[in-house]
Structure 1
Amino acid sequence: MMSPDRNDFTVTEASHLLRDYVDEAVGAPWEEALVVAELSDDSGLTYGRYLAGSENHELLCFDTDYRLYFMMDALRQAMRDKIGVTWRRAMASLTASDDLVTITFDYYGTTTE
C-alpha cells in the first residue's frame, strides 16, 4: 500500500487506498466495510468493521494499524490546507461489489486562515 503525500492527497485517492487497506486487513471475502478514524492534532483512534461475505452475514472487526491512522491524518491535513475545514471524525463506508466509497465527516468548524 502506498503512502499518501500530504501535499497532494485527494478524497479519490483516499477511497482507493481505503479499499486496498480493507482488502489487506480483512484478508477474506467481505460484502460491506466501515472504517472509522477519530483524530485530534496529536492523537487518534481508528477501527474497522466488516460484513463477512458468507450466508450468515456476520459483522466482524478487523485490526487497524498505524498506516490507517497516517492515511486518515494525511486526508485530514489535506482538507484543512486545501479547503479550510478540520474534521474530528471520518466514517468511510465501502461495498465490495463496486468502487464507491462514501466518507462522512464530523467537523470542528472552519479554519480562519
Structure 2
Amino acid sequence: MSSKVLVVDDTSFVRMMIRHVLMNLGQIDILEATNGIEAVQFYKENKPDLTILDITMPELDGLSALKEIITFDPTAKVIMCSAVVHVFKEASAIGAVDFVAKPFRPDDLKKIIIKHL
C-alpha cells in the first residue's frame, strides 16, 4: 500500500531533496506545493498521510497553513521543515508532529518520515 506525502516549500531545490528522500523509501505518492495557500488547498483535496511543510513562504506562511490544515483535520500529521527553528515550539503547540531543521541531512529526514508513516 502506498502512502501520500505532501511536500510544501517555495524553493524547488528543497522540494527536490525531499522528493529524493521519499522516492528512496518506495511506495509513496508525492504531491508538491510552493506556498501555504497551495498547501491548504492540496491538503483538503488529497488528505495526505503526511505533510512536510516549510515555514517561510510567500502567499501564506507555514504556521498559518498549519493552523488551517489542523482546523480542517485535527489528525493531520505535519512535519515542519525550516531554518527558522525558534518557531518549532509554536508549531508544536498548533499541532505539528515533528520538525526538521534546514539544512537537513537526508538520513535524518528519512528517519523522521518513517517514524510518522
State the TM-score, normalized to the length of structure 1. Answer: 0.30
**How does the TM-score come out when normalised to structure 2?**
0.29
Q: Which has the higher strand share?
A: 1
